[in-house]
Amino acid sequence: MKLRHKLLTAAGSLLLLGSLSAQAESTLRIGLGADPDMLDPHLARTYYGRFVFAAMCDRLVDIDEKLQIVPGLATDWKWSDDGKTLTMNLRQGVTFQDGEKFDAAAVKFNIERALTLPGSLRKSEISSIESVEVTSPSQVVFHLKNADAALLSQLSDRAGAMLAPQAAAKPDFATHPVCSGPYQFDSRVQQDRIVLKRFENYWNKGAYHFDKVVFLPIPDASVRLANLRSGDLDLTEGIAASDVKTVLADSRLSLVKVTGLGYQGITFNIANGKVAPDNPFAKDARVREAFSLAIDRDALNQVAFEGQYTPANQAFSPVSPYHVNLPVPARDVEKAKALLAAAGVKTPINVTLLVTNNPTSQQVGQVIQAMVGEAGFNVNLQMSEFATLLDRQQRGDYQLSLSGWSGRPDPDGSIFSFIDSKGTLNDGRYASPQVDQWLTEARRTNDKAARQALYDKVVHQLQTDMPIAYLYFEPRIFGMSNKLQGFKAWPDGLVRLAGVQMAQ
């Protein structure tokens, strides 16, 4: 009996220890507006994937709250006088999550992969790089084809994310990603969750306080809020404007808001894929301009966002020093009709608009549908999961698409890939040799005044060419548990977890 009692006592102690261990494991649950696409920084394009990469993949450099470039895996750097050589000194003692060493050879591998991998969406972002030279294990030199004022900013995001070379060489990397960040990939269930776990050998482990981070894609903002209020989420991005008052009134929650860099707009299919020849927006820019003029951006902001958003007519947010001071045109249905008549287009014009399958986007689509209907556009809304929408947009399987961009600190990152004729995100296949020249010149000078003048020309030209009808700039609005401490919202909208912890 005594032996049996001891065994039971020991078993009970083990169960208790296991229970205490499970309780001690801390988990941060973050709500996202959609499921990210593939978890490969060189192939990914969704805003939501950037949340995961921010926790999983260190970049060569980062940005601070004022959008200034700060050290990341590169501790310091120096430009040559002609701006065509960039020398970086690398952080030492860093390992990837599979144990592989991070060094200059790994940087060379990553940059060359981003430039040559079939389907890489980072190619145009870092296309100025001609070669990468390893000068020592802790120093790498980028030789550029031409000066590139935007390169450091690009390296602060997915183009600068460092992937473990051995893992990245495998064909299944997107389903088993390996980086060098504070959290490593654990598991994923599509449309349900992405689970990351603490990387125990991370070089700055002490700044991170959760054992696990779970990203939960919940397209409906009201459902995300309900999960936050019930305690099933600790933090969520994308609080709807209509829910701001609810969060502020709940003593268990806090609201964090910052003016963002991102925009939302309508991309016109001008020359991409099989639908382009029969697409009315492909034949005459005046049709695109007419569609844009039929939209009342102020009314859209009030109806869909309770005045929380900012009407837009360009890619550069008001928080950007490169924002062009150009008034957003008022709605003008009569001018829209006149443009259609001048283009020789008969109304009604039947078109299909791709819209993400969440209530906010659907409402925006419905408001646009009603507005442009008065100018002669008969719009059919086609709802789609976000990653599917982007895939169709990329393939050219659309006429109109309601989609946006999360914005970048450097203006080049918010416009070049979408507007340049060779841009990897130019899903409408807009092409203008003059605009290409201005964009390239803006890339090649570090003179701020010269860059501003060039972007001013681009923005004015796009008012008539209208490859994208910019609608509004989005604030980044987060809701979180009052117990969460140390979280700050940054203009790029990403969640940075250093210093974030749960109050006991």
Q: What is the pLDDT of residue 1?
A: 42
Which residues make Cβ contacts (< 8 Å) with residue 265, sequence separation at least 6? 312, 402, 403, 404, 468, 469, 470, 471
Query: What pLDDT, in 10s, does the model give residues 355-364?
Result: 999 888 999 9
Task: Name the residue among 62, 89, 59, 61 with its Cα closest to residue 77.
Answer: 89
Contact 287, 346 (CB under 8 A): no
Q: Is the pLDDT assigned to residue 10 strictly greater than 60? A: no
Calculate helix-pair angle for 433-443, 412-419, nearest 10 degrees.
150
Identity of residue 439: L
- As a whole number of angstroms, the distance between CA 170 and CA 442 comes to 37
Query: What pLDDT, in 10s, does the model give residues 452-499?
Result: 999 999 999 999 999 999 999 989 999 999 999 999 998 888 999 999
Give Rg (Cα) of the chain: 24
Token pair 């504070």 is found at 182
Band of pLDDT at residue 20, cut at 50, 70 and 90: very low
- As a whole number of angstroms, the distance between CA 17 and CA 12 comes to 9
Q: Is 482 helix (H, G, I), strand (E, B) or coil?
A: coil
Query: What pLDDT, in 10s, does the model give residues 120-146?
Result: 999 988 999 999 999 999 999 999 999
Query: What pLDDT, in 10s, does the model give residues 185-244?
Result: 999 999 999 999 999 999 999 999 999 999 999 999 999 999 999 999 999 999 999 999
Band of pLDDT at residue 22, cut at 50, 70 and 90: very low
**CATH topology (fold) of 260-475:** Dipeptide-binding Protein; domain 3 (3.10.105)
Query: What pLDDT, in 10s, does the model give residues 177-195?
Result: 999 999 999 999 999 999 9
Q: What is the pLDDT of residue 336?
A: 97
User: Which pair of structure tokens corresponds to residue 41?
Assistant: 């920084």
- As a whole number of angstroms, the distance between CA 321 and CA 163 comes to 32
Q: What is the pLDDT of residue 124?
A: 87
Token pair 């009692």 is found at 5
Of the two residues 1 and 157, the one the predictor is more confident about is 157
Q: Is the pLDDT assigned to residue 48 strictly greater than 70? A: yes
Contact 146, 126 (CB under 8 A): no
Q: What is the pLDDT of residue 279?
A: 85
Q: 149: number of CA atoms within 13 Å, CB side?
A: 19
- 77 φ, ψ (degrees, to nearest 5): -155, 160
Q: Is the pLDDT assigned to residue 16 strictly greater than 60? A: no
Mean pLDDT of the chain: 92
Q: What is the pLDDT of residue 376?
A: 96
Contact 450, 400 (CB under 8 A): no
Q: Is the pLDDT assigned to residue 15 strictly greater than 50? A: no
Q: Please report, rounded to a whole number, the percentage of residues in the chain having pLDDT higher than 90.
A: 84
Which of the 8 DSSP states describes residue 250? -
Q: Is the pLDDT assigned to residue 421 strictly greater than 50? A: yes
Helix H, strand E, coil C: the string for 399-456 is CEEEEEECCCCCCHHHHHHHHCCCCCCCCCCCCCHHHHHHHHHHHCCCCHHHHHHHHH
Which CATH code for domain 25-217? 3.40.190.10
Q: Is the pLDDT assigned to residue 346 strictly greater than 70? A: yes
- As a whole number of angstroms, the distance between CA 188 and CA 54 comes to 17
Q: What is the pLDDT of residue 453?
A: 97
Domain boundaries, the chain: 25-217, 260-475
Q: What is the pLDDT of residue 274?
A: 80
Of the two residues 10 and 378, the one the predictor is more confident about is 378
Of the two residues 19 and 382, the one the predictor is more confident about is 382
Token pair 């409402």 is found at 363
Q: Taking residues 245-274, report their average pLDDT.
A: 94
Q: Please report, rounded to a whole number, the percentage of residues in the chain having pLDDT higher than 70.
A: 95
Q: Is the pLDDT assigned to residue 414 strictly greater than 80? A: yes
Contact 480, 233 (CB under 8 A): no
Burial of 44-72, coded b for 16+ CB within 10 Å and e otherwise, reads: bbbbbbbbbbbbbbbbbbbbeeebebeeb
Query: What pLDDT, in 10s, does the model give residues 265-320?
Result: 999 999 998 866 678 999 899 999 999 999 999 999 999 999 989 999 999 999 89
Q: What sign results for the dihedral spanned by CA atoms 449, 322, 267, 374? A: negative
- As a whole number of angstroms, the distance between CA 370 and CA 362 comes to 12
Q: Is the pLDDT assigned to residue 176 strictly greater than 90? A: yes
Band of pLDDT at residue 18, cut at 50, 70 and 90: very low
Q: What is the pLDDT of residue 275?
A: 67
- As a whole number of angstroms, the distance between CA 47 and CA 471 comes to 18
Host H or E run for residue 221: helix 221-230
